[in-house]
Structure 1
Amino acid sequence: MRILWTLPYLPWPTTSGSKTRQYHLLRTLAQHGHRITLLVQSKIPLSDSAREALEPLVERLIVLPRRALNSPMNLFASPIIDYPMRVIINGLAPCLRHRFEQLLDEPWDVIQIEHSYSFQPFERALQARGLPYMLSEHYLESVMGAACHDRLPLWLRPLNAFDRWRYRRWEQRVLRQPSEVVAVSAHDAELIGQISGRPVNVVVNGVDCDHYQDVCPTPHSQRLLFVGNFEYGANLEAIEWALEEILPQVWMSNPAVRLAIAGHALPASWKLHWNDPRIEWVGYRPDLRELQRRSALFFAPLRHAGGSKVKILEALAAGLPVITTSKGASGLAMNNGEHYLGSDDSGQLALLITQLLNQPWRMGQLSVAGRQFARQRHDWSVAAQQLENVHMRLTQLAPAGAGANGGVLAK
């Protein structure tokens, strides 16, 4: 199939779960022979490494610059009641709108829009042409905005609440328009279905299980591992909770425990605030396998739900036992006690860590169950098949002659 795929960021390097998802779905669909045109609006220029990673996967790679965050346009448009800030920042882009309209003159089997916050430049053209298309929503922005609310200065909180209200109105407007809507988990599909009043497809987040199958964790290392993108407030709050409340309780009974913290945009101030040699400030690593090998378990004390957690899936595929919360496990159909251990109480989490580090046999059980779960339910091949099923339904909605195969659409 010929696929027009839009993104509000470059999916390389894979510094976040969303970028990891996009890259692996692109890679898998390209391996299946689909001809993809990738239209990207990016806040950073296309680097040589990104070009080398992406161009072999697509028929065309079109990258347009996004205006700077401090652009006067963003400031002047901020009071517009119809558009929340993230829509303003990623929208109101005449060059992107014009290029998209040009591309719509070509025949497509599938038009795939990623994220409601990127939709504004495409809305009018899609409405005017009446073409079938899908929109993939990774999480509800109106819900995720709550993750950072308490971290904001008091004077900014009313503005954040106002923006979340605008975003809920935007979601209600946008999510009712596509021919097909995709979520990354059953939990998110239910929330999106409540807003849109329609059935929502699930295309799970995934993991390259073959990439991690040879990783053997070190149960006796006493090292916990956390990986996350620290541009997201939920990950910032998770680490603060861990270091302020959970790890001090662990250290009271086992002072040898270490915590390695890896991920993009790690705040430099944390090193000074928590100056403890048992905390390892790793930062971003493009390949996590060596870190996983040197760790005993993966610890993700997340207190906000949304999406499904790619870094947790990578830990499961690598055989790392996982200790997390109900929010950390949300979006993944895992069983507490079988695939992971979990609690929402800081004292109970500290106890789970302490007990598990002294039970290598139990760690082995969780390791085997986690690997099996990841491969059976969340390998990228599973996600790609789910996405292709949505694509096939879209081709059946296309008007006669609109497809890329001379009017005979793929069935």
Structure 2
Amino acid sequence: MKILMLTPYVPYPPSSGGQVRTYNLLKHLSKNNKITLVCLYKDQQEKKYFSKLIPYCQTIYFCQRSPHPWTLRNIFKSIFSLKPFLIVRNYSNEAERILKKILEEEIFDIIHAETFYIMPHLPKTDIPIFLLEQTIEYQVYQHFVNSLNPIIRPFFLLDILKLKIWEKNYWKKALMVGAVSENDRGIINHISPRINPVIIPNGAGEDMIVKELNKKNLNKPIILFLGNFSWLQNTEAANYLIQKIIPLAKKELTSAKFIIAGQNAESKIGLPKEDNLEVIDIKQDENEKVKKIYRGSSIFIAPIFGPGGTRLKILAAMASGIPVISTKIGIAGLSLRNKKDVLIANSPDEFIKSIKEIIKNKKSYQSIRENAYKLIKEKYSWQSIAQKLESIYYNIRI
């Protein structure tokens, strides 16, 4: 099958959620299909990753978008047009020209668009389009606006409305829509009842899955939160951990050490003031460092309260063989059972209680990590996810 894959980012290195997803899909879909990739970049340095994608793509096009999203030009263009800011900041004239040329010269069986805001680059076409929504974008943006000073929030309300209208419009333009979780599928169906999305979940990369579950030292537990701190939800979670959980831990978990790690950790979170906390900065392409930090930890903690998508960090922790303690929102979209595959906590006291219980009860600790690890292998492997996606492609073509 000939697939035209569109992404609003370069899918390498596999560091952010979208990059992890697309890179692994390309890796597995390329075994049985011919893929043409059109992706957007904003930094010239990203071109060095071209060679990393060649093994999985027949043809690759890197198209430049605005390197600095928050320019006056982009802001005014959004204010004085019907386009929401997300569309304006991710628009590439080069991508529009290239896609027009490609579709005039070649025939594809399917167009796969990762996120709706890459779709405005497409000319009118009869080729079936599969749109995968990695999250419900207007909800993520709404959450961001809610975090702002109440005085300036009204200035963003029109943009949220425009974003919701555009997102809904592109759901209708696609022949089929995919969501990464049951929760997102339900939201799309509620907003547009005629659309019944299929679920194509996220997974854990083979490189994250440990070969065996090594013994952990629970007398001196290392409690980890890892993420990309360019995203508001991750910054909120880290601040919640620092301000509300760690002060309690100093009194009740005196032997525990906390680690907050990820891209932009130091610039967004700052250097730690607590002696039981370490903040580790991870560069975009330091995948081995990510694996080492996961595997050196005892517990993964995710005090996430922001909406959208499924959490690749949760899956990575499960694949690494460390139990997860998360809010209910943090595991939304994942088929996880409380006290079987994961521990759910929704307040500082509940997080502390869960940590204390699991480090004292070694049988429970081992059971949860084993169940989660088994689930990764059975349900959240990229190979099985790519196979499901291929079957959907074939159904669309019929």
Please give the TM-score of this superposition, normalised by the length of structure 2.
Answer: 0.93
Instruction: State the secondary structure of the residue aligned to 2:43.
Output: coil
The answer to whether 1:318 aligns with 2:320 is yes
Deviates more, 1:317-326 or 1:255-264: 255-264
Which amino acid in structure 1 is aligned with residue 150 of structure 2? L
The answer to whether 1:275 aligns with 2:277 is no
Contact 2:341–2:372 (CA under 8 A) maintained in structure 1: yes
Structure 1 residue 379, shift from structure 2 partner:
0.7
Question: For the structure 1 residues 166 and 292, does the alpha-carbon distance in structure 2 shift closer, same or farther, using more than 3 Å as the test?
Answer: same
Measured in 2, the distance between the counterparts of 1:306 and 1:239 equals 18
Which amino acid in structure 2 is aligned with residue 63 of structure 1? F
Partner of 2:210 in structure 1? 213
Partner of 1:118 in structure 2? 118
Partner of 1:107 in structure 2? 107
The counterpart of 2:144, out of the listed 134, 144, 148, is 148
Larger relative contact order (C-alpha < 8 A, sep ≥ 6)? 1
Measured in 2, the distance between the counterparts of 1:233 and 1:330 equals 17
Partner of 2:27 in structure 1? 27
| CA distances 1:192-247 after superposition (whole Å, capped 9, x unpaired) | 12223211011110012464222636242411011111111111111111111112
The counterpart of 1:190, out of the listed 186, 191, 195, is 186
| CA distances 1:129-173 after superposition (whole Å, capped 9, x unpaired) | 333211111111111123323432334322233322221111221
Instruction: Give the fraction of aligned pairs with identical amino acids, expressed as a percent.
Output: 25
Which amino acid in structure 1 is aligned with residue 325 of structure 2? I
Partner of 1:342 in structure 2? 344
Measured in 2, the distance between the counterparts of 1:217 and 1:209 equals 21
Partner of 1:200 in structure 2? 197
Indicate the RMSD between aligned Cα atoms, in angstroms. 1.8
Question: For the structure 1 residues 217 and 303, does the alpha-carbon distance in structure 2 shift closer, same or farther, using more than 3 Å as the test?
Answer: farther
Partner of 1:166 in structure 2? 162
Deviates more, 1:282-291 or 1:385-394: 282-291
Partner of 1:286 in structure 2? 287
Instruction: State the secondary structure of the residue aligned to 2:287.
Output: coil
Question: For the structure 1 residues 225 and 217, does the alpha-carbon distance in structure 2 shift closer, same or farther, using more than 3 Å as the test?
Answer: farther
Measured in 2, the distance between the counterparts of 1:304 and 1:211 equals 25
Measured in 2, the distance between the counterparts of 1:130 and 1:13 equals 33
Segments of structure 1 that go 5 or more residues without pairing to the other structure are: 397-411
Measured in 2, the distance between the counterparts of 1:229 and 1:256 equals 27
Partner of 2:90 in structure 1? 90
Contact 2:114–2:131 (CA under 8 A) maintained in structure 1: yes
Measured in 2, the distance between the counterparts of 1:217 and 1:76 equals 56
Contact 1:250–1:354 (CA under 8 A) maintained in structure 2: no
Partner of 1:3 in structure 2? 3
Partner of 1:408 in structure 2? none
| CA distances 1:58-82 after superposition (whole Å, capped 9, x unpaired) | 1111101112324454133121453
| CA distances 1:92-114 after superposition (whole Å, capped 9, x unpaired) | x3322111111112110111111
Segments of structure 2 that go 5 or more residues without pairing to the other structure are: none
Measured in 1, the distance between the counterparts of 2:179 and 2:203 equals 13
- Residues 233-252 of structure 1 aligned to structure 2 (within 5 Å): 233-252=232-251
Contact 2:128–2:174 (CA under 8 A) maintained in structure 1: yes
Question: For the structure 1 residues 324 and 217, does the alpha-carbon distance in structure 2 shift closer, same or farther, using more than 3 Å as the test?
Answer: farther
Which amino acid in structure 2 is aligned with residue 290 of structure 1? K
Contact 1:250–1:351 (CA under 8 A) maintained in structure 2: no
Contact 1:222–1:258 (CA under 8 A) maintained in structure 2: yes
- Residues 249-398 of structure 1 aligned to structure 2 (within 5 Å): 249-268=248-267, 270-272=269-271, 274-284=272-282, 285-287=286-288, 288-396=290-398
Measured in 2, the distance between the counterparts of 1:148 and 1:297 equals 28
Contact 1:209–1:379 (CA under 8 A) maintained in structure 2: yes
Instruction: State the secondary structure of the residue aligned to 2:228.
Output: coil
Measured in 2, the distance between the counterparts of 1:235 and 1:259 equals 16
Question: For the structure 1 residues 355 and 349, does the alpha-carbon distance in structure 2 shift closer, same or farther, using more than 3 Å as the test?
Answer: same
Structure 1 residue 120, shift from structure 2 partner:
1.7
Structure 1 residue 267, shift from structure 2 partner:
4.1
Which amino acid in structure 1 is aligned with residue 366 of structure 2? G
Partner of 1:409 in structure 2? none
Give the count of matched residue pairs: 389
Measured in 2, the distance between the counterparts of 1:10 and 1:394 equals 26
Measured in 1, the distance between the counterparts of 2:305 and 2:221 equals 24
Measured in 2, the distance between the counterparts of 1:2 and 1:130 equals 15
Structure 1 residue 49, shift from structure 2 partner:
4.9
